[in-house]
Structure 1
């Protein structure tokens, strides 16, 4: 009835925050007590039965038959977070996240019961445990902020649907090596999935030594220099990298390099070409200001014509927004 699908569509502008616990599940400060004033047991993966079903591949669920995923409205993130509520406590799962918007295939009215029945039965069949079904109490969602804007900001950051005004079904699925959460809302026609994983730091300090080692071994090095959005002005936090490039060139006085700018595919192709040229030129001029002879430098822009990552994902776009220094 439902098969696994790897289609993704990624959008930008999501704030990333690391929240961890011994099972990489974080409990939020918002908690409620039962009516007898006794503490209610918090969510624990130990209470979720281990599934031995074949759950397929990420994101482990797709649209029911006669429905499709709206790729333009759906979002994929290599590392993000979703919030869950078990009826008494809020907790956050962080990891790989898929937010899917579902629509009918063709010009047909939305089949809410078909969606609800299909999704609930499928998740049940692969061993997912329903941990909450209904509308989160208003007295709890009001604690997300001091005004409506801040409340909705929290909601959009942690949920794929309007859980302030509509019900949501929340599931937890555990296998021998995975912990997965599902948010399902037929009112918002959405399914959100998070595959829990540990955050891995990928930022490394760029040094003159690392740059020349790359150039000597590969003939080029790829760097990420931050610019003002849509402009060629170098941001202050990237001048440390400019200084390391300058240091490398001073330590290797016979080296000549071509500074090559690249962009992702967002926006007009001609604009991206010009933007990449201007950004490469801006780096060249900054190096000249650092005392590097301009005769040792060339600059060129390639725009979006030479991607090294998948432009359909945010991670791929970030890889494509780069500057390469090539040995001449």
Structure 2
């Protein structure tokens, strides 16, 4: 969510689950002792810039004459808390103003919605918990909805569920299938260009960011995609991993880089302190606009390493409701979906609709002006003060076809959000097992019934074209590369069932990184001739491709090659080396 200007915005609410001393004390005793080992996080898209979703014969709907004229159709009152995030342009268009205005899509749907900017996730949670208690006592209480980052939902929902436990199962939180859109470049990791040339250059370096935040999630996934370890303890330094420097907010992170911030840390090796100290500084930054703009204009020297233009499914805009309220207001929820789907087609297809949404955004967020929000909705590429190119901003909105694709209800049946939810839920468990030993199951968290009803009853709304990624014929620039030891039957391309779980993880990783082409490259050791090894490696790569296609990936998404024994990564003179050389390499790139 690149355009948030308030420092409280977008903090992943795992902090609600944990006390302030989340990873231990700042100072360690000099004697060696056990610490948390650096974690290899494992790996994880968003399509190219969306084209107009409606055909050339479509017409621009008449826009409300004013962003302040009161709604005239009455309807259900709702307070809707949302971060300042451009993926909500369709919501801005549908509501017509800070509160539902005359002639808007929400007005026509008999809704009366008040938008409230709320960047503080802890406050969002508290308000929803308060509402649930009041609604249980008085069913006439005005409804409350909140929007949140898709990749942060496992931690948020797990914490929120615990807060609501005492009210009973009917008052548990659910994720409604009201996905306005998603971040498309706004959130990014900025670091020296050498990290793009070789990700291993990030080992032993430090990245500043708001911990357990969506932007740091991008770093963790990029690291995992490249087989790099991350030190989960922000109070120590591990020279064999990427280290994290805690920032107070998204502006503090780049400011630490700009001002040359440094701090003293205890050195650890293999998860144990050594008794030695070192001083570390900020090498990279996890942030979003205008934090990235500050880096570019005040110091420069950092480029985009990975962002949500590449990890394109990572950060959809999701909506949370109390289950009892949502079920009591099923018709209202379905009407919201219908209005937002229609708004998504309008915003995607007409410049005037985007300008109107930007005007409403400026009113809701009370920050900057319509031109500002429109600029960062579209996203821009600019040069920093050192002349290096940086990407700033970028969002997109969904129509009904996009919503269906998000939740596995589209033609390819790939549940993109399930892949995101489980990927980042498992990542948090792996990084912080003592803090978050488990997370709410996806099937309990997400209720698709509202969207299923709309799709069944309004097939005409599926006429809008869904966002579609166009992939190059070949990968020319790799974002990440990681080798997997997939087991095949001896001398054949038949995959052993023991490797299916690993292949399923590769599939989910590819779904999250939908903006990147997937390379599947087969390698062998040097036993046997090229006449045997090259065809065998090609067949094995093709077998992996066939498995992934069977799960739902498209043919044009996957590139396969077989290199035989020509690209060893270890000594073929040893059993261990030959074992490492027998591998399937997975590359994500453009």
TM-score w.r.t. the length of structure 1 is 0.36
User: Whose strand fraction is larger, Structure 1's or Structure 2's?
Assistant: 1
User: Whose helix fraction is larger, Structure 1's or Structure 2's?
Assistant: 2
Higher relative contact order (CA 8 A, sep 6+): 2
